[in-house]
Structure 1
Amino acid sequence: MANQYYLMSQLPAIDSYDSKALPISEQYFRDLCSRFLDSKSLKILENLSLEPPRQEIKTGSDFLDKWNDRERCLRLALAQIRAVKMKKESLILPGSCTQDIMQAARTAVGMDSPLAAEEFLNQYRLETLDAMQPLDNFSVDAVYAYAVRLLLCQRMKKFDRETGKVSYRKIYDEILGETT
C-alpha cells in the first residue's frame, strides 16, 4: 500500500476533459505506475481498455470487473435500443443491467446530435466511476479508477465537432446512396 500512496500522491487531479490539455499524459501515467506497482498490477493496467470484451473475462481486479460489467451492460443496452428502433433482432441483456443504465442508454439514443449523445454518455460514465470510487484512495483499485478516468477524458478530447459533422454527412450520404 505504501507504493500506491506515493504513486497516487504524485498524480494530478483530473476533474474533466473540458480544459485545453489534460494535466498528465497516458504515457507519463504508465511510466509512473511502472515505478510503483508490482508486476501483477502492471499487467492488469496494461490490459485496461474502455471497451470490455462481450463475454465476461476476469481482469484480476474486482473493481475493474465491476466497471467492465457496467460498461458492457451500457454498450449492450445501447445496441438493443438501436436494434429495436431499426426493427432488428436484439441481444438479450445480462441480469446485471440496471434501470439507470437502461435510462442512460435511452436518453443517449434519443438525442439528435451524436456528439451530444457521446458527451452525455461520457458524463454518465464519469459519474458512475465516481460512485464506484474505492474508499481507500491509495489502493491499487484507486490507481485503476484513475486510469479509467484518464482514458475517458482522453477519448473525449479526440472528438471534434466539425470533423464529426463531415464524417456523419459522408456516412449518411453513403447509406442513402448519394455521392458527393
Structure 2
Amino acid sequence: MAYYYLVSQLPNISSSEGKTALPLNTQSFCELACRFVSDSEKAIINSLSLVPPRKRVATGSAFLDTWYEKERNLRFALAQIRAQKLKKDSLPLPSGCTADIISAARTAVGMNSPLSAEQFLYDYRLNLLDDLRPLDAFSIDSVYAYGLRLMLIERMRKFEVENGKTSYHKIYDTILDGDK
C-alpha cells in the first residue's frame, strides 16, 4: 500500500538545524501517521523506540527488524568494550555483530568526551538509518524510518554540556566507588 498522503504531509527534518524548533515532535508524528495506517501499523508506530528489545522480536517489518538488530548489536558491542576497559566480565557479542559495528563502538568508547561519543554515535546511527531506508519513499517502512530519525534528532537535542559533565562525573564516581 502506498502512503502518498501521509508522507507528503511529513515536514522535512534536518539533523543539522542545531537547536531550532523541529516542525514536528514524536507525539505529533504518531498522531498524524496513525490517521493513515492500519491498526497493526498503528501498533508498530506507537511502539517505535530507539531502544530495541534485548531479545529479537519480529515486528512485522523487515526494515525495523534489521534496524533493531543492528542497534541491539551496537549496544552489546558498546557494553562489551566498556566492560573490557573496566576489566569486568561481559556477555559475548551476538553472531550478527559486524566489523563496522564493533569499529563504531570502539571509536565511541575511545573518545575522551561523552558528548563527543554521543555525537559520533548519533551520526553513525543516522548514516545507518539512511543506508537501511527503503527505496520506496512512500512505503510504511519509510514512515517508520522517518519516526526513528525524528526520535534520534529529538534525543540528541536534549544533551546539554554542563549538565552532562556533572552527571557523567557523578555516575563515574559511583561506578568506581562500587569497585572498592
Q: TM-score range by the shorter chain?
A: over 0.9
SS at match of 2:64: helix
1:30 correspondence with 2:34: no
Please identify, of 97-106 and 20-29, the stretch whose mean Cα deviation from structure 2 is larger: 20-29
Displacement of 1:157 in angstroms is: 0.9
Q: How does 1:96-175 map to 2 (within 5 A)?
A: 96-175=96-175
What residue number does 2:13 align with? 14
Q: CA deviation at 1:86?
A: 1.4
Paired residue for 1:55?
55
Give the TM-score normalised by structure 1: 0.93
86-95 or 33-42, which deviates more = 86-95
**2:42 paired residue number:** 42
Stretches of structure 2 that go unaligned for 5 or more consecutive residues are none
Distance 2:68 2:173 in 1: 35
Indicate how the Cα distance of structure 1 residues 138 and 166 shifts in structure 2: closer, same or farther if over 3 A, else same.
same
- Give the letter aligned to residue 141 of structure 1: D
Tell me the secondary structure at the aligned position of residue 36 of structure 1: coil
Distance 2:163 2:19 in 1: 19
Using the TM superposition, name which of 46-55 and 62-71 deviates more.
46-55
Output the CA distance in 1 between the equivalents of 2:87 and 2:150.
Answer: 37
CA distance in 1, matches of 2:171, 2:96: 34
2:61/2:141 contact within 8 Å kept: yes
User: How far apart in 2 are the matches of 1:35 and 1:168?
Assistant: 41
The CA deviation string for residues 21-65 of structure 1, in whole angstroms up to 9 with x for no partner, is: 212111211111121111110111111111111110111111100
Number of equivalenced pairs: 176
Which amino acid in the other structure matches residue 136 of structure 1? Answer: D
- Greater mean alpha carbon deviation, residues 104-113 or residues 56-65: 56-65
- In the alignment, residue 6 of structure 2 is paired with which amino acid? L
Distance 1:173 1:95, change over 3 A: closer
Q: Is the 8 A contact 2:122 2:152 kept in 1?
A: yes
For 2:171 and 2:93, how far apart are their aligned partners in 1? 28
Contact 2:34 2:45 in 1 (8 A): no
- Residue 62 to residue 175, structure 1, CA distance change in 2 (3 Å): closer
Aligned Cα root-mean-square deviation (Å): 1.4
CA–CA distance in 1 between the matches of 2:175 and 2:57? 35
* 2:79 aligned partner: 79
Q: 1:172 & 1:80 partners in 2: Cα distance? A: 17
Amino acid aligned to 2:115:
L
- 4+ residue runs over 6 A deviation: none
Contact kept, 8 Å, 2:52 with 2:72, in 1: the verdict is yes
Identity of aligned residues (%): 59
